[in-house]
Amino acid sequence: MNKKWEYYTCNQDKVNEISEKFNIDRLLATILVNRGITEENDIRKFLEPTRDDFHNPFLLPDMEIAVETIIKAIEENEKLLIYGDYDVDGITSISVLQKFLEERGMEVENHIPNRLEEGYGLNKEAIKDIADKGYKLIVTVDCGISGIEEIEYANSLGIRTIITDHHEPLEELPKAIAIVDAKRKDNKYPFNQLAGVGVVFKLIQAIGIKMGLNEKEYLKYLDLVCVGTISDIVPLVDENRVIAKLGLKLVNMTKNLGLKYLLQATGYKRIDSNAISFGIAPRINACGRMGHETEALDIFLSNDINEVKELTDKLNNYNKTRQETEKRIVEEALELIDKNKENEKSAIVLGSHGWHHGVIGIVSSKITETYFKPSILVSFEDGIAKGSGRSIPGFDLHEALCKSSKYLEKYGGHAMAVGLSLKEENFEAFKNEFEKIAKQSNVEEILPIINIDGIVKQDDIKPEYIKELEKLEPFGEGNKMPLFAYKGLKINSIRALTEGKHLKLTLKDDNIIIDAIGFNMGDLVDDYLIGDKVDVVGVLEINSFNGIENVQINLKDIMKSI
């Protein structure tokens, strides 16, 4: 697949100035300039944030009334229910708020909707059950901003609701007593990209300030706040970076038993953003996807080592089941694509009986990644098709659903990811309409873009320089791992690994040999010969073997030198 290489336009004078002033390597200074981080305080805050870099929580909308209501409830021994979501952001949000309030002596319960039976967000049946149990105060976390009817229903049952959320509000806001969401139109908070757990952290920070608590009483939860923030793929900039950078330090020495045992179960030796994204997050999300959301929450709330060990085993098993289910659906989807030549179309829309609702979103992501086309996968059950879709930059998936909404029962999401349901009898008509919309949008002309931070040469690829790039961690949305191009290299050796799946090369620049690995690029092995001159782009990393450290290029693309 052809990819477009785009280079940042970098001010070399500014790079040299920052490199000298802060005594950092040129590569690191280049990344800072590319990210627009050029002012002295911004550089300091990005590289070495401190607890003083948190914004004032009382600038968030309705924070004052939310805090006063909760403190009054604590003083009057009123019990409270936290209503959350089944993903990592929601699970960590509930955990942080429940633990903090219980330490203040409050009686706290929680409710997480079952993904397969209740779906996302507030629902009236759950609210009725909460009312029947005698709760008069609900705090939502990572949900609630769109629950206008549900909040109205709660009001009719005499329940007061505080909404904490980070999603986009509708034109009309729910009639809750407080709505803490930085995406509100009247927001004055200086950063509106917090995860749901980030908003919860600001809530407990505000309660702590108002109650005159030592700041460690809320800062100690940054380990879980960091896990939820990194897992929710919010931009790791500004306050999210402060949360992630400080939080990772706590994750490495966490006192939360569940998190500690989960980290051990992942097998990651180094605890960084990758360990969270690819080790912790899949295990927690697997619970929600497979309908066992309460066990994901229990592992963070439990102080019983035997229970935590048992739950860790369960989460590992759920994740294995999720992986097996996902693998089966991927294989079936690829078979359908091949059989019906779906890859020749502008968009890939597939439907089948027996596909697990909780997993097809991940499969859709893999299909889109493989073919670089918008994809929608649905599962047929009892005459209804429910599913998920993923898109590519340049094609607004939500807008496409709006244009084909006459065939849909329900849909929601944003430009890059959607959920939808429709009658099975309307599936083919919807598929044809969606293909027509994708074709009119000239999807075939959209190429995947690789944003390259700069061109490196021999002198740049020393282990000490690459290690300095670690100061940019944690990596994630809004702070991607830097990519560099290296041109005019001669192929010294080339072979495929793991039954043809991956590409392994050694590349020569004069008398220097550089290792390179291209994951999932094994199909390119026959396109190149020893002696070919190539340009490559990838991540510069350290490969340690037998105590010897060498620089390795983790390839993202390769082409013959012009």
Per-residue model confidence as pLDDT tens digits over 163-183: 999 988 888 999 999 999 999
Q: Sorting pLDDT into bands at 50, 70 and 90, what band is 543?
A: confident
With 0-12 / 13-18 / 19 or more C-beta atoms within 10 angstroms meaning exposed / middle / buried, residue 74 is middle
DSSP state of 50: -
Q: Chain-centre distance of CA 111, in angstroms?
A: 23
Q: Which two tokens stand for residue 330?
A: 């991927």
Distance in angstroms (rounded) separating the CA atoms of residues 121 and 123? 7
pLDDT > 80? residue 277: yes
Q: Sorting pLDDT into bands at 50, 70 and 90, what band is 545?
A: confident
The residue ranges of every structural domain in the chain are: 4-45+450-560, 53-314, 341-445
Largest Cα–Cα separation, the chain? 78
| Residue 558 · residue 524 · CB < 8 Å | yes
| Residue 18 · residue 43 · CB < 8 Å | yes
- For the beta sheet containing 375-381, the strands, ordered from the edge strand earlier in sequence to the opposite edge, are 348-353, 375-381, 384-390, 417-423, 410-413
pLDDT > 90? residue 122: no
**E-strand stretches of 275-362:** 348-353
Considering the entire predicted model, what is its pTM?
Answer: 0.89
Whether residue 474 is preceded by a cis peptide bond, meaning omega within 30 degrees of 0, is yes
Domain 53-314 annotated CATH 1.10.287.3510: no
- Residue 544 makes CB contacts below 8 A (sequence gap 6+) with none
pLDDT value, residue 118: 74
The better pLDDT of the pair 350, 233 is held by 350
- Residue 44 makes CB contacts below 8 A (sequence gap 6+) with none
Q: Sorting pLDDT into bands at 50, 70 and 90, what band is 417?
A: confident
| Residue 347 · residue 440 · CB < 8 Å | no
- Residue 128 makes CB contacts below 8 A (sequence gap 6+) with 153, 157
User: Which of 289-298, 309-318, 415-424: highest mean pLDDT?
Assistant: 309-318
- Nearest-5° Cα angle at 400, 399 to 401: 90
| Residue 514 · residue 553 · CB < 8 Å | yes
With 0-12 / 13-18 / 19 or more C-beta atoms within 10 angstroms meaning exposed / middle / buried, residue 133 is exposed
Q: Identify the CA nearest to 169 among candidates 152, 189, 144.
A: 144
pLDDT > 90? residue 90: yes
Distance in angstroms (rounded) separating the CA atoms of residues 253 and 263? 11
Distance in angstroms (rounded) separating the CA atoms of residues 58 and 205? 9
Average pLDDT (293-321) is 94
Q: What is the CATH number of domain 4-45+450-560?
A: 2.40.50.460
For residue 45, the surrounding DSSP H or E stretch is: helix 40-47
Dihedral pair phi/psi, residue 172, rounded to 5°: -100, 135
Quick check: helix, strand or coil at residue 295? helix
Quick check: helix, strand or coil at residue 375? strand
pLDDT > 90? residue 477: no
Beta bridge partners of 548: 545
Question: Residue-wise over 84-120: b if at least 16 C-beta within 10 A, else e?
Answer: bbbbbbbbbbbbbbbbbbeebebebebbbbebeebeb
Q: Which CATH architecture has domain 341-445?
A: Roll (3.10)
Residue 358 carries which side chain, given as an amino acid letter?
Answer: G
Q: Identify the CA nearest to 279 among candidates 88, 75, 495, 123.
A: 88
| Residue 4 · residue 449 · CB < 8 Å | yes
CA distances from 256 to 92, 103, 299, 319, 427 (A): 12, 15, 9, 21, 47
Average confidence score pLDDT of the chain: 93
Q: Identify the CA nearest to 138 among candidates 116, 157, 120, 119.
A: 157
Distance in angstroms (rounded) separating the CA atoms of residues 35 and 372? 26
Dihedral pair phi/psi, residue 517, rounded to 5°: -130, 130
Q: Quick: pLDDT tens for 20-55.
A: 999 999 999 999 999 999 999 999 999 999 999 999
Q: Which two tokens stand for residue 224?
A: 């879980």
Q: How many CB atoms lie within 10 A of CB 331?
A: 11
In the chain, the percentage of residues whose pLDDT exceeds 70 is 100
Q: Quick: pLDDT tens for 450-475.
A: 999 999 999 888 888 899 999 999 99
Dihedral pair phi/psi, residue 559, rounded to 5°: -150, 160
